[in-house]
Amino acid sequence: MFPTGAAGVALILLRVSVAITLFTQVMPQGNPAAHLWTSTGVGLLGVAICLGLFTPVSSIVCCLIEAATLLDMKSPAFLALTSSILVAASLGLLGPGAYSLDARMFGRRLVVSSSDKTPSGN
């Protein structure tokens, strides 16, 4: 769930691309102050995705918001938003990668089976 190296860097790029698409496709047009709560919510969600904070949940919320936007859409950007939904879903399934806040909070753990332990009497 927390790959390092090139795969970890690729997941950073994937997280940033999902956040940028969220900002460009879903952020209210015109005066952001007129849509303060929507702009704040989308902004916080985008930052959480960029930083890798609760990535599976953030990605699902991103997919739901983009799907709602897709249903309400009147412009020809249907394919771009559909592609963004698929990329956000893949990010949710892949996880955040090693270079994220999720990796810091829930990092790798070593699980030791009881059958691996040697008896103390021997």
pTM for this predicted structure: 0.75
Strand blocks (E) in 11-96: none
- Other Cβ atoms less than 10 A from the Cβ of 74: the count is 5
CA distance 18 to 20: 6
Distance separating alpha carbons of residues 59 and 64, to the nearest angstrom: 9
The mean per-residue pLDDT over the stretch 79-95 comes to 87
Q: State yes or no: pLDDT of 60 exceeds 90.
A: yes
Contact 59, 108 (CB under 8 A): no
Confidence band of 77 (pLDDT split at 50, 70, 90): confident
pLDDT of 122 above 60: no
Among 29-38, 47-56, 68-77, 88-97, the least confident range: 29-38
pLDDT at 18 over 70: yes
